[in-house]
Amino acid sequence: MGSDLPRKEASHLIANMSDSPNGPSKEKPYHSTLLVNRLMTEGSDKETRHFELCLKDSGIDYLPGDSLGVHPLNCPEAVSDLLGATGYSGSEEIDLGEETLCLQDALSRHLACTVLSRMQVKKFNEIAQVPKLEDLLKSENKEALADFLWGRELIDLFLEFPQQGLEAADFADLLRPLAPRLYSIASSLSAHPNEVHLTVAIVRYESHGRKRQGVCSSFLANRVEDSVPCYMHANKNFKLPEDPDTPIIMVGPGTGIAPFRAFIEERIATGATGKNWLFFGDRTQAHDYLYGEEWEGYRKDGILSELDLAWSRDQDEKVYVQHKMLERGAELWSWLQEGAVFYVCGDAFRMAKDVDQALREIASREGNLDEEEATKWVRSLQREKRYLKDVY
Ligand SMILES: Cc1cc2nc3c(=O)[nH]c(=O)nc-3n(C[C@H](O)[C@H](O)[C@H](O)COP(=O)(O)OP(=O)(O)OC[C@H]3O[C@@H](n4cnc5c(N)ncnc54)[C@H](O)[C@@H]3O)c2cc1C
């Protein structure tokens, strides 16, 4: 993973993660049919979709806790806007090592043409020699550069600092390969043979006067024509306990809910008797309760022993999953004393840290531990593989 990437940009990059040893791989993906593309958040200002993909004859096998890698195509408008801003026709020939193809195709299928990294600004400025960029690239201006990069894409460089006479090959050298994105699998194969389900937040935003969209999430939402090239990405560090009697506590706000849908489906399919406790949260109960009917059904049937919901915008003060954990601190502590495994999935930058802090607070309060002892206790949970994270 490039050390030049700003923190906010690096989350989707998946270098160094191993693929399945058998069957389709990152290099040779399976071309899956998209069976279902359903908006789950009608009326919300967030767009989260449920996808179902067919795995028939793919040889792909997965377990709850694994992820699916998806190879997207770039958005045609993003490609044509970039060609417009750079002044290329798109028919210029580009050598990508293994094949030579026209710039338009290379931008559509092989090159990351939206994200912007420090390295790209540096390479761009070796050609453009813009004093403002020179200044931002100085090591003492890291924060200013991160602010500059946030919400900007490659096209913004060419719009703000137009370049004439740059060879198409030199332009293509500024671009990195288009990387696949990972999605936590939201289904159990036992419950849905030959299928894999995903829960995806569609990235759409406006910045510096332009409408933008995330490459892969918008590909899944709007641009799948023939198939979705995908592969399984195993995660052996985020698995259900081997002993089916072990209680589990799952904290998965937003799209962090995905693997827990798979966990519960699997526990039902395998007849696991351990207790299940889910903490879910999002903006509003009316519009953002992902898989709400399923959770309510599981609660009614006793499959979920406990269900705690945190809605950040349903009242004046913001309520998040960590607040619900603290409210239920005594019971949570008691489950953990019984040997429960604690899982967290979703946002790495804020939520996972807040949940970690809440766990420490619960340990201090309920276990009468001082700060250092509480930290040690949380570490021991991690060592025993009873505190597992799938955060991004
Ligand atoms: C192990 C793992 C599991 C994951 N599971 C899931 C999952 O289950 N569901 C899910 O939805 N995602 C999941 N993700 C995240 C997913 O891989 C992608 O990162 C996500 O879908 C965005 O990809 P994209 O191609 O749509 O957006 P990209 O084209 O990669 O664009 C995202 C970038 O846009 C910029 N950006 C976004 N919003 C704004 C804004 N408001 N203002 C300015 N700039 C902005 C940021 O630079 C951000 O990094 C997971 C990631 C990992 C590593």
What pLDDT score does 22 carry? 60
Say if ligand 1 is within 6 A of residue 199 CB: yes
- d(CA 171, ligand 1 centre) in Å: 25
Q: Which atom of ligand 1 is found nearest the CA of 48?
A: 11
What pLDDT score does 8 carry? 35
pLDDT of 182 > 90? The answer is yes
Where are any strands of DSSP class E within the chain? 30-32, 34-39, 48-54, 67-70, 93-95, 100-102, 111-112, 176-177, 181-184, 195-201, 204-207, 210-213, 228-233, 248-251, 276-282, 306-311, 341-346, 387-391
Partners of residue 185 on adjacent β-strands: 198
Residue nearest to atom 1 of ligand 1 (CA): 182
- d(CA 321, ligand 1 centre) in Å: 21
What number is the average pLDDT over the span 262-270?
98
Say if ligand 1 is within 6 A of residue 203 CB: yes
Residue nearest to atom 9 of ligand 1 (CA): 200
Integer CA distances (angstroms), 77 to 81, 104, 161, 226, in order: 6, 11, 21, 19
Specify the DSSP class assigned to residue 185: B
- d(CA 152, ligand 1 centre) in Å: 15
* Residue-wise pLDDT tens digits, 53-86: 999 999 999 999 999 999 999 999 999 999 999 9
Integer CA distances (angstroms), 293 to 88, 277, 289, 372, in order: 51, 16, 9, 41
Q: Which atom of ligand 1 is found nearest the CA of 216?
A: 25
What fold is seen in the domain 73-178?
Answer: NADPH-cytochrome p450 Reductase; Chain A, domain 3 (1.20.990)
Q: Strand 67-70 to strand 181-184: parallel, antiparallel, or no bridges (unpaired)? A: antiparallel
* Residue-wise pLDDT tens digits, 288-316: 999 999 999 999 999 999 999 999 999 99
C-alpha 28, offset from chain centre: 22
What fold is seen in the domain 15-72+180-232?
Answer: Elongation Factor Tu (Ef-tu); domain 3 (2.40.30)
Would you list the domain boundaries of the chain? 15-72+180-232, 73-178, 248-391
Say if ligand 1 is within 6 A of residue 204 CB: no
What pLDDT score does 115 carry? 87
pLDDT of 163 > 70? The answer is yes
pLDDT of 49 > 50? The answer is yes
Say if ligand 1 is within 6 A of residue 11 CB: yes
What backbone torsions phi and psi does residue 378 show, to the nearest 5 degrees? Answer: -65, -40
- d(CA 12, ligand 1 centre) in Å: 6
* Residue-wise pLDDT tens digits, 215-242: 999 999 999 999 999 999 999 999 999 9
Q: Which CATH number fits domain 248-391: 3.50.50.60, 3.30.70.2740, 3.40.50.80, 3.30.70.2190?
A: 3.40.50.80
Say if ligand 1 is within 6 A of residue 349 CB: no
Say if ligand 1 is within 6 A of residue 41 CB: no
What pLDDT score does 21 carry? 57
Say if ligand 1 is within 6 A of residue 255 CB: yes
What number is the average pLDDT over the span 204-224?
97
Domain 15-72+180-232 matches domain 248-391 at the CATH topology level = no
Nearest to 295 by CA among 277, 322, 272: 277
Say if ligand 1 is within 6 A of residue 187 CB: no
Q: Which among 12, 115, 231 is the best mutation to test ligand 1's pocket, defined by most ligand atoms within 8 Å of the CB? A: 12
